[in-house]
Structure 1
Amino acid sequence: MAAIRSCVTLLIVVLCLCNAAQLPVVLWHGMGDSCCFPFSMGKIQKRIEDYYNGTISVHSVRIGNGNIEDVANSYMKNANDQIDIACEQLVNTEAIIKSGGAFNAIGFSQGSQFLRAVVQRCSNNDTRPNAAGIKLQVNNLISIGGQHRGVFGLPRCIGANVTLCEYARRMLDYGAYLGFVQDHLAQSNYWNDPLDQETYLKKCTFLPDINNEKSIKKPSYKENLTKLNKLVLVQFMQDTMVQPRESQWFGTYKLGQDKEVVNMVDTDLYKEDWIGLKKLNEDHRIDFLECPGDHLRFTEEWFKTNIMHYLK
């Protein structure tokens, strides 16, 4: 009897320790930002660490060797190349290795759809385990202002480098689907032209793939996304940067025009469940959050109240 009681006690202790463990958090910044600016991602990282008294390890994705290169790559590096770098980076991150590959993820603006691509392409992918065999598995994916059905228009852009912002705007106007633009401008990789869907599906190198919009579907994309515990979609209700604003909730322009928007549940992407959104939604695993104000204009109090609890 004593031996049984000892085993039960040990099991309770182990379960308590497991439940008390905090998964690491991965952040991915948006266009024109960097992983580590103290006034943006660095500040958010510190707030998360302070809120959880240092029990959560936070890794902010950086594409490049420093902040300046990271900012430049947020404009000028093909999204697919960025995803490959991030997958390799995360699978070899110490805190993620210690958690067995599991983590929570928060994307900001374009970092949201990039992290979704990490979920769909890198989760349980036998080509990307590290030397210890660790594979990535995202628990909660939080998208803050992400453009999951792309954009059609760049009326203004925020960021640390105004020159690169203007360059991006000119290249999109010049020809978003030209080969050299697709190769060297990240924003062109999620440019979704409702007036020319044929060219979009044929020439856009990133968004049609991760949304499984092509005729040949990739079952692993749906399989991996539906492993999420929660998909959290934040829309900024006075957004003047993302067109259409509803892209943040998987809405998109109705084909043939750029005024009327089709909501997520009325799209073929949802109805035919190409990536698992219908499954997630029917299981009550998608949370749609509203944030008042313009793009990425949220307060610390809003973030604390609405986002922090997803990191437990």
Structure 2
Amino acid sequence: MASARVLGLSLLLLLLFLGSFGCRASVPLPLVIWHGMGDSCCNPESMGYIKKIVEKKIPGIYVLSLEIGSNLIEDMENSFFMNVNDQVKLVCDILAKDPKLKGGYNAMGFSQGGQFLRAVVQRCPTPPMINLISVGGQHQGVYGFPRCPGESSHLCDWIRKMLDLGAYTKTIQERLVQAQYWHDPLNEEEYQKKSLFLADINQERCINTTYKKNLMSLNKFVMVKFLKDTMVDPPASEWFGYYRSGQAKETIPLNETSLYTEDRLGLKEMDQAGKLVFLGVEGDHLHFSKEWFYKNILPFLQ
């Protein structure tokens, strides 16, 4: 009788174990968000809104919207004036210390946050980034500063003047974020020599095999281009295209650039493996509907 009870209890415990194992819900991958120029981590009309709709559609997801600074004002100011390399290092430290990210995470960058997160995956493979979604990121840089978002018009006017004076002077390169991804197609040599950020992550001076290996470790690299973008000059940069060198009128797609043909970043190999995803959305810079986001972006986060 005792042995029967023991056997029955053992079977009950086994069933309970198997039942709890079978019903255990899979935990969604965390999401890291980096905002764009003049924005902040938690603006309820931008990053706060994105965080909210992602959490609504993916219950239980951990969303980290990066704050670069100790408060929202510093976060916004640093999007203009904090050295990008220092920002990337800071973010790498934040991600490495977050226990919720140790198993890997997806990343989504908006506007300049797109190329900044690309620098994160190239430079900091731990914790591992699984998918990178760049929403309007300027991966080949910009050669124009037509307008600014939000209430930062006075800053934009000042930045335009600084860029006109000399984007590649040491002081402006070190202190002005937008100068660090300013790509002058009329003077490629100066850009390659003096760009502190973009020329480095795009392997313009030398080939860092670690950068290439780390970027190629992504499962998917999704690039969103706004087909009526009046903010980014040229919009082709959002799909890694750019002006043909030596002039500023004709643009060429990624597969005609030296970055692709020489495969300095591994983009050609990634493309052939189906890892690059090019999405177009009708509208101006960062203008998209909730429905478009759910249909086109959400599948890469689930």
With normalisation by structure 2, the TM-score equals 0.92
- Inter-partner Cα distance in structure 2 for 1:12 and 1:162: 59
Equivalent-residue separation in structure 1 for 2:22 and 2:203 (angstroms): 39
What does residue 56 of structure 1 align with? 61
Provide the C-alpha distance between the structure 1 equivalents of 2:290 and 2:74, rounded to a whole number of angstroms. 27
2:268 matches 1:278:
yes
Q: How does 1:1-312 map to 2 (within 5 A)?
A: 20-53=26-59, 55-97=60-102, 100=103, 102-123=104-125, 135-214=126-205, 216-312=206-302
| Aligned residue pairs, count | 290
RMSD: 2.0
Give the deviation of 1:189 after TM superposition: 0.4
Cα drift, residue 23 of structure 1: 0.7
The equivalent residue for 2:8 is: none
Displacement after TM superposition at 1:21 (Å): 2.1
Q: How many angstroms does 1:94 deviate by?
A: 3.4
Distance change (3 Å), C-alpha of 1:180 and 1:52: same
CA separation of 1:11 and 1:153: change in aligned 2, threshold 3 A: farther
Letter in 1 for 2:209: P
User: For 2:244 and 2:127, how far apart are their aligned partners in 1?
Assistant: 35
Superposition deviation, residue 271 in structure 1: 1.1
8 Å contact 1:159–1:165 — kept in the other structure?
no
Report the Cα distance in structure 1 between the residues aligned to 2:21 and 2:154, rounded to whole angstroms: 55
Distance apart, 1:159 and its partner CA:
3.0
Gaps of 5+ in 2: 1-12
TM-score normalised according to structure 1 size: 0.89
Contact 1:104 / 1:141 at 8 angstroms: preserved in 2? yes
SS, match of residue 233 in structure 1: strand
Runs of 4+ in 1 over 3 A off after TM superposition: 9-17
> In the superposition, relative to structure 1, how do residues 266 and 15 fare at CA in structure 2: closer, same or farther (>3 Å)?
farther
Q: Percent identity?
A: 49
Is this contact kept in 2: 1:71–1:160, CA < 8 A?
Answer: no
Whole-angstrom distance in 1 between the partners of 2:236 and 2:21: 44
Deviation of residue 10 (structure 1)?
Answer: 7.9
SS in 2 for 1:295: coil
